[in-house]
Structure 1
């Protein structure tokens, strides 16, 4: 069964920076994973003027763009925004799906926080750790946001047996 772990926090909290470093660490450890990135903006990965864009804009609800190096499935969801469960089902042959964003989702998560953001620390009952530049709470596991190796160890322990490191 694929496990899901969110890397959550407010904008500017270091989510993407941490995730990029975690990807390198987990890849080096042969962890099979995928990433879902949430966007609050209306995003488009297709380019106006390209055939795939024109076909989609003509009314195709789904289109796959494929080359010898990669492929992408584009699905229009104007009246039915995708939910995280459906997105996770799109992946195969992975042990872990890392999710950047979706902070309100009921998934296991590591919350990123930076004191310079001047925002209150966000966490909920699904938070298993906080990665921050300052230790703010004692009841949840805390990591220095720059200690990527220790955070990777924690994720790998969670992945293999739901146990946390001391």
Structure 2
């Protein structure tokens, strides 16, 4: 276990997990509320959604760091005492697994590629915890996501197990209610 407190929350699509996590961060007695965003705009609709969410967070006092792939690049922008929300593991994982698909060789098809990204993620989350007061990690349930291929499900399950083990608290969100699992 590294640094300060980490909370993990998972749940289905539209379960309320992100709103619950945002509330946890906003009520922490932290220097700043940091939102690490993993989303990528692949089309105009998604770009508009990301911009709308960014503006909503701005008015609520958030500092947003758009970091869809290389989460470690956010570390130098964090300050001691920040409360950090990373939303969402599943979008980061999809971005990483399928990086390079346009060339025909996504990371998922390259031996050892995801293992390196996994090691970097673990090191990055330890680094975030070392400077933050609180880290809240949000993810979809393993079988609830829209991507249904074996490497994705296997990696998401592996990451979830590690996050639960590393967290002081873990919750599952269902129908707007957070159920404590750890």
TM range (shorter): 0.3 to 0.5
TM-score by length of 1: 0.40
By relative contact order (CA 8 Å, sep 6+), the higher-ranking structure is 2
Larger Rg: 1
TM-score by length of 2: 0.37
